[in-house]
Amino acid sequence: MITVETVGKLQAVLSEARQGGRTVGLVPTMGALHAGHASLVTRCVAENDICVVSVFVNPTQFNDKNDLASYPRDLEADCTLLRSIGAHVVFAPTVEEVYPEPDTRQFSYPPVDTVMEGARRPGHFNGVCQVVSKLFQYVQPERAYFGEKDFQQIAVVRAMTRDLRLGVDIVACPIVREESGLALSSRNQLLTASERATAATISRTLSESIGWKKSGAKVAEVEARVVETIDTTAGLRTEYYQIVDSDTLQPVADWESAKGIVGCITVYCGSRPVRLIDNIRYK
């Protein structure tokens, strides 16, 4: 495994690696890697001749400077993990390398980028599109791997990829969870042990909501009960919970409104607090 910090070096390495028609896959990350990231890398290694992992905390997708400053970083530990699971190239650029000048491009993909995270984090998805489009340009992968915990992000990246005709296959990979059910996230490192235990209420409640649906509860009733259950748990506060069409991400009126239905949630946990996201498929 090699680690490169510049676009020029990355492209030189990939140009050589592509000789003989070898395929390249990309796993974009912001570092602080965990078993969820590892599952993406493992799949990328299995499905491509060359696996590139980017490790870059992208400033343009943060609308909260404190969130950017507190985001966990440990490149040495990340590289140790990546080496152990067979990654071939780690791209770990500086902010100046990715943004030698301000990126003024504007991306807009309604309705998928205007609801939920898009409505509450202005500019977030524009920043995601800025950095992912740059990474796709640098690496030119056949496939790129994203975790389904960031369900809305995948929808936005797919819309951007189609719009720009980038020819990259966006591969969505299942959520990896801790034994408690808590969805793995780099932000989990910011939780205390007791907060981590409390946060497991999120996934437990979502799982229980499947039973409520099967028992005949309407969409609005399931939404209200999920929020009430979480908000009455000390240390947790729901920012939003919406049950939506899995393609358009628009709210559904009933369980027959769409072929695919997913519930998306964001919850604040602890005294700092730490912002956690999760989702569950109903059909």
- How many residues in the chain? 283
Pair of tokens at residue 94: 């500086």
Pair of tokens at residue 20: 């003989």
The Cα–Cα gap between 223 and 240 comes to: 9
The Cα–Cα gap between 57 and 139 comes to: 17
CA angle 2, 19, 94 (to 5 degrees): 35
The Cα–Cα gap between 105 and 175 comes to: 31
The confidence score (pLDDT) of residue 255 equals 98
Tens-digit pLDDT string for the chain (283 aa): 999 999 999 999 999 888 888 999 999 999 999 999 999 999 999 999 999 999 999 999 998 888 899 899 999 999 999 999 999 999 999 999 999 999 999 999 999 999 999 999 999 999 999 999 999 999 999 999 999 999 999 999 999 999 999 999 999 999 999 999 999 999 999 999 999 999 999 999 999 999 999 999 999 999 999 999 999 999 999 999 999 999 999 999 999 999 999 999 999 999 889 999 999 999 9
Fold of 2-173: Rossmann fold (3.40.50)
CA nearest to 247, candidates 107, 110, 112, 109 = 112
Q: Of the residues 34, 37, 88, 124, which is catalytic?
A: 37
The confidence score (pLDDT) of residue 213 equals 98
Q: First-to-last CA distance in the chain?
A: 40
What residues have CB less than 8 Å from 110, skipping those under 6 apart?
none
Task: Give catalytic status of residue 88 as yes or no.
Answer: no
Fold of 186-277: Pantoate--beta-alanine Ligase; Chain: A,domain 2 (3.30.1300)
The confidence score (pLDDT) of residue 65 equals 87
The confidence score (pLDDT) of residue 110 equals 96
Annotated domain spans of the chain: 2-173, 186-277
User: Which pTM was predicted?
Assistant: 0.96
